[in-house]
Chains A and B, each alone.
Chain A
Amino acid sequence: MKVVVGALLGLSLVVTAIQAVAVETVKIGVVSPLTGPQAHLGKDIENGARLAIDEINATHPTLGGQPVRFDLLVEDDQADPRTATVVAQKLVDSGVKGVIGHLNSGASIPAARIYAEAGIPQISPGSTAVTYTRQGFKTTYRVMANDAQQGQALGGYAVRIGRRVAVVDDRTAYGQGLADEVAKAVRAAGGEVVAREFTTDKSTDFTAILTSLKAKRPEVVVYGGMDPQAAPIARQMKMLGLKAVFMGGDGMQSAEFLKLAGTAAEGVIGSSPGLPLEKMQGGAEFATRFTARFGKIQIYAPFSYDASRVLIAAIRQADSAEPARYLPVLAGIAVNGVIGPIAFDTYGDLKDGPVTLYQVKGGQWVPIITMGGKN
Chain B
Amino acid sequence: MDNLVFYQILLQQIFNGLVLGSLYALVALGYTMVYGILELINFAHGEVVMLGAMVALTVLGALSGAGYSGVWTIGVALAVAVPICVTTGLLIERVAYRPLRHAPRLAPLITAIGVSIVLQNLAMIFWGRQYLSFPAVIDVQVYEWWGVSVTNVQLVMVALAATMMVGLLVLVGRTRLGRAMRAIAQNREVASLMGVNVNTVIAATFAIGSALAAVAGVLVSTYYGLAHYAMGFMLGLKAFTAAVLGGIGNIPGAMLGGLLLGVIESLGAGYIGDLTGGFLGSNYQDIFAFFVLILVLIFRPAGLLGEQVAERA
- Chain A interface residues (CB < 8 Å from chain B): 37, 170-171, 196-200, 202-205, 207-209, 211-212, 214-215, 227-228, 231-232, 235, 238-241, 256, 259-263
Report B-chain residues with C-beta under 8 Å of the C-beta of A256: 130-131
Per-residue A-contact encoding for B258-294, CB less than 8 Å = 1, 0 else: 0000000111111101100010011101100000000
Bound CA–CA A212/B13 (angstroms): 8
Bound CA–CA A197/B19 (angstroms): 22
Q: Given contacts A212-B271, A263-B136, are A240 and B149 in contact (CB under 8 A)?
A: yes
Q: Given contacts A203-B285, A238-B142, A260-B226, are A208 and B9 in contact (CB under 8 A)?
A: no
Report A-chain residues with C-beta under 8 Å of the C-beta of B95: none
Q: Is the CB of B142 within 8 A of A212?
A: no
Bound CA–CA A265/B17 (angstroms): 25
Q: Given contacts A202-B234, A232-B226, A239-B140, are A212 and B270 in contact (CB under 8 A)?
A: yes
Report B-chain residues with C-beta under 8 Å of the C-beta of A262: 133, 135-136, 225
Report A-chain residues with C-beta under 8 Å of the C-beta of B153: 239
Report A-chain residues with C-beta under 8 Å of the C-beta of B13: 208, 211-212
Q: Is the CB of A209 within 8 A of B129?
A: no
User: 25 pairs across A/B with beta carbons < 8 Å?
Assistant: A171-B281, A171-B283, A196-B281, A198-B281, A200-B286, A204-B224, A204-B226, A204-B231, A205-B20, A207-B16, A208-B16, A208-B270, A208-B285, A209-B282, A211-B16, A212-B274, A215-B5, A215-B6, A228-B131, A228-B226, A231-B225, A239-B149, A239-B153, A262-B136, A262-B225
Report A-chain residues with C-beta under 8 Å of the C-beta of B6: 215
Q: Given contacts A198-B281, A208-B270, A215-B1, are A241 and B131 in contact (CB under 8 A)?
A: no
Chief secondary structure at chain B's binding surface: helix
Bound CA–CA A256/B282 (angstroms): 26
Per-residue A-contact encoding for B196-228, CB less than 8 Å = 1, 0 else: 000000000000000000000000000011101
Report A-chain residues with C-beta under 8 Å of the C-beta of B285: 199, 203, 205, 208-209
Closest beta carbon of chain A to B209's beta carbon, Å: 23
Q: Is the CB of A231 within 8 A of B133?
A: yes
Q: Which 10 A-B pairs have the closest CB atoms?
A: A208-B269, A198-B281, A198-B283, A241-B149, A207-B16, A262-B136, A260-B133, A208-B270, A215-B9, A228-B131
Report B-chain residues with C-beta under 8 Å of the C-beta of A207: 16, 19-20, 266
Closest beta carbon of chain A to B46's beta carbon, Å: 14
Closest beta carbon of chain A to B10's beta carbon, Å: 9
For A232, give the chain B residue with the smallest CB separation: B224
For A235, give the chain B residue with the smallest CB separation: B225
Bound CA–CA A261/B225 (angstroms): 8
Chief secondary structure at chain A's binding surface: helix
Report B-chain residues with C-beta under 8 Å of the C-beta of A211: 9, 12-13, 16, 266, 270
Bound CA–CA A211/B266 (angstroms): 9
Q: Is the CB of B140 within 8 A of A238?
A: yes
Report B-chain residues with C-beta under 8 Å of the C-beta of A261: 225
Report A-chain residues with C-beta under 8 Å of the C-beta of B142: 238-239, 241
For B23, give the chain A residue with the smallest CB separation: A205
Report B-chain residues with C-beta under 8 Å of the C-beta of A227: 131
Q: Is the CB of B273 within 8 A of A208?
A: no
Bound CA–CA A179/B267 (angstroms): 24
Bound CA–CA A231/B224 (angstroms): 9
Q: Which of A199, A204, A238, A241 has the most chain B CB atoms closer than 10 A to its own CB?
A: A204
B144 within 8 A of A: yes
Closest beta carbon of chain B to A42's beta carbon, Å: 16
Closest beta carbon of chain B to A19's beta carbon, Å: 48
Q: Is the CB of A231 within 8 A of B270?
A: no
Report A-chain residues with C-beta under 8 Å of the C-beta of B69: none
Q: With A212-B9, A256-B131 given, can you name 14 additional A-B contacts, CB distance below 8 Å?
A: A37-B130, A171-B283, A196-B281, A198-B282, A200-B286, A203-B283, A204-B231, A208-B267, A209-B270, A212-B271, A212-B273, A215-B6, A231-B226, A262-B135
B151 within 8 A of A: yes
Closest beta carbon of chain B to A298's beta carbon, Å: 15
Report B-chain residues with C-beta under 8 Å of the C-beta of A263: 136
For A241, give the chain B residue with the smallest CB separation: B149
Could you say which of B17, B225, B265, B278 contacts A232, with CB atoms under 8 Å apart? Answer: B225
Q: Which of B140, B144, B226, B282 has the most chain A CB atoms closer than 10 A to its own CB?
A: B282
Bound CA–CA A232/B221 (angstroms): 11
Bound CA–CA A87/B35 (angstroms): 50
Bound CA–CA A238/B281 (angstroms): 23
Report B-chain residues with C-beta under 8 Å of the C-beta of A232: 224-226
Q: Is the CB of B136 within 8 A of A197?
A: no
Report A-chain residues with C-beta under 8 Å of the C-beta of B129: 37
Closest beta carbon of chain A to B146's beta carbon, Å: 13
Could you say which of B136, B151, B234 contacts A239, with CB atoms under 8 Å apart? Answer: B151
Could you say which of A212, A231, A238, A240 contacts B282, with CB atoms under 8 Å apart? Answer: A212
Closest beta carbon of chain A to B280's beta carbon, Å: 9
